[in-house]
Amino acid sequence: MRINKLLAALLLAAAAALAVNTGAHAAINSMNLGARYDANKANISFQIYSSRATRIELSVYASAYGSQEVARYVLNKGANNVWSTSVVVSALQALGVTGPVYYGYRAWGPNWPYNTGWSKGSSAGFISDVDAAGNRFNPNKLLIDPYALEISHDPVNASWSDGTVYASGATYRAIDSGPRAPKGIVLAGDTQSIGTKPTRAQKDDVVYEVNLRGLSMNDAGTPAAYRGTYQGAALKAGYLASLGVTAVEFLPLQETQNDANDVSAAVEASDNYWGYMTLNFFAPDRRYAYDKSAGGPTREFKSMVKAFHDKGIKVLVDVVYNHTGEGAAWGNTDGLTVYNVFSWRGLDNPTYYELTSDYQYSYDNTGVGGNYNTHNPVAQNLIVDSLAYWKNTLGVDGFRFDEAPVLGNSCEVGCYNFDKMDSANALNRITRELPPRPAAGGSGVDLIAEPWAASGTNNNNYQVGGFPSGWSEWNGVFRDTLRRSQNELGVVAITPGQLAMRFSGSADLYQNNGRLPWNSVNFMVAHDGFTLKDLYSCNGKNNNQAYPYGPSDGGNDDNDSWDQNSVAQDQRKAARNGMAFLLLSAGTPMLTGGDETLRTLNCNNNPYNVDTVGNWLNYSLNAEQTNFKTFTQRLIAFRKAHPALRPVNFYSGVDNNGNVMEQLRWFKPDGGVADATYFNDGNNHALAYRIDGSEFGDSASAIYVAYNGWSGTVNFTLPWPGNGKSWYRVMDTANWNEGANTVVTPGAEALIGGENSVYGVNGRAVLLLIAK
């Protein structure tokens, strides 16, 4: 056994060394992939990776769409499987390329070797759509450069709706996609400012998750031409700053297939509003640009980033590296599975995608297409290089990673195994080359994982609490525990101990992994599910609605939602409680766009395809919505004013010198300290806690929060507020206190009394007091 272990260790070491030599890199884009001008803009170098191609040609175009190339160049294969050529700019100008340079590639390989008789639209040289090694080369398909900094248009768009031109298979393989295919655009670079990046510690952030288009599309205060664009989003920076938001987290902004949304004014089943089908990892989505000229999306994106930075707001971007917009198999022709071929698949299919064990099909546990090959060093290079570009050049401050367990996959062929200890996985690679922001703040990048994927063996797709050091996570356990406590009373037993764990930063999930409470990104709702209002207004999903709220397919059937017996005032109270849970708990709170104004989707919990006024944020508010916005705004301000709610470390009863600190103490309603018996009893539905503000340099010597999960009033006996101090009410979410002043402004707090005073908290309400 010892000999076997030694051999295994040697083999692993050899494999690691080979990986370093063939793909992994210490410098960002050390192979200089992509297209770039030289210093004098006299020449353009083109470089692209393929380990399996036998011939690659560059096609250069004078226009993006509908025309043939003006020149073709054969690339030379060099070291590290990098193919390259250099083109003289004046020669292109002589051929009529007087504006932007558009380009794409055609590639041949073992399944379709080069034949001198080949011409566009022919099958000369063809052997098979896929061979035993998984190659899917097809020279009839013009390929997007994975390192292109912008692309000209989407494969399917308002001018071209026939996606079969990009397909393989007997019926489609000989169709030339060149005139219709998206092209890369050569950018000259610029020195445009992205402003001063905030260096705020993540523990001090309030995150606002939103679709960029939806943020301004329905805003009458934004000029019509700018609505739904980067420019329009920039104009909302002041609004988010006034709300108290410190980080805006945009749904995917890398180029995705969404141009087809504009074909019809009515929602279509194929619309892509959320943007989780990436076509290129570098290019800012052109559809979101007011200026769609070459270079326009990049300039406008950077201008938007500066607008947020000027308000002290971080810009986070949701990124999708677990699958791509090239998609999975979609049909059969003469017994062959049909795949789209417009980028990675046609350049080096087994490198960029994880394949089944026979190499014939995409391996999939994302639920939306084949897995991106996140464990392959070259495929990882593309991930790291693109992240670095968005961080360093475009100015982004952090990222949220869609289905991030796939980035922890330790397999490359026909399997899935999440292994956070694998130093060669993408998760650990990212933190090595893009250092996370320190706990106390400073330079670095905020890394946030969606810690679940669609499927996996032994449930290793669900990894809440399972990520390595440097990573924060969407805390789905926080969401589920508090939803069930509110909406499943008598159905699901939630103990006070479970509540205490979530309120205090989820030490059970993060402390033993060497992480801290702020690595828990707390949320009650996200884009993927009900809005905050609908969580407390809907007993189930209603996705088969007419325009503008649907129809949408899919959506989770288990939402832990409840309509509060259809009592509108109780629905608003429940929403206040949900917001209070977020903003009064240790961790990083995340709101979803529009929840501050009780946004509704009429119970549609999967509006991924609803690019309509029904899904865009609304700024024409009634009195109840205005009151809820004020409630949210003031509660955010309270959190920001009180560092005791934002601990860098887990609350502790003893400091490093052994001194009793009593930073946090839990109480039963009768004023007694909650013990294990009380904590573990699922029949108890009321809990309070006191945070000692003096331990954090807080302006309040103590903060007291009480939650009554019962339907009737519960009397809470108040603890000691501090020497010479009394308790004052900041907030009571009960119906009797509904209105513009549910949360009072500083200095307007109502005196409640001292130690042993009794306060009756109404059913299903949250109380917030400070000592002064």
State the Cα–Cα distance between residues 385 and 382, nearest whole angstrom.
5
Q: Is 402 a catalytic residue?
A: yes
* Three-class DSSP category at 428: helix
Q: Say which of 402, 473, 698, 732 is annotated catalytic.
A: 402
Task: Tell how strand 34-37 and strand 686-692 pair up.
Answer: unpaired
State the Cα–Cα distance between residues 517 and 62, nearest whole angstrom.
54
Residue 769 CB partners (closer than 8 Å, separation 6+):
703, 704, 705, 718, 727, 728, 729, 730, 752, 759
Residue 584 CB partners (closer than 8 Å, separation 6+):
503, 635, 639, 645, 705, 766, 768
Q: Say which of 205, 219, 403, 450 is annotated catalytic.
A: 450
Residue 75 CB partners (closer than 8 Å, separation 6+):
46, 48, 56, 57, 58, 83, 84, 85, 105
Q: What is the 8-class DSSP label of residue 372?
A: B
Q: Is 255 a catalytic residue?
A: no
Give Cα separations from 365 to 323, 383, 401 (angstroms). 10, 19, 16
Residues in the chain: 772
| C-beta separation of 329 from 380 below 8 A | no
State the Cα–Cα distance between residues 583 and 589, nearest whole angstrom.
6
Q: What is the 8-class DSSP label of residue 437?
A: P
State the Cα–Cα distance between residues 441 and 314, nearest whole angstrom.
13
Residue 578's H or E segment, with its range, is helix 568-583
How buried is residue 3: exposed, middle or buried, by Cβ count under 10 Å (0-12/13-18/19+)?
A: exposed
Q: What is the 8-class DSSP label of residue 545?
A: P
Task: Tell how strand 446-449 and strand 71-74 pair up.
Answer: unpaired
* Three-class DSSP category at 735: helix
State the Cα–Cα distance between residues 746 and 634, nearest whole angstrom.
9
Phi, psi angles (nearest 5°) of residue 545? -100, 160
**Beta-bridge partners for 654:** 660
State the Cα–Cα distance between residues 533 and 563, nearest whole angstrom.
10
Residue 595 CB partners (closer than 8 Å, separation 6+):
525, 531, 532, 533, 575, 579, 632
Residues assigned a catalytic role: 402, 450
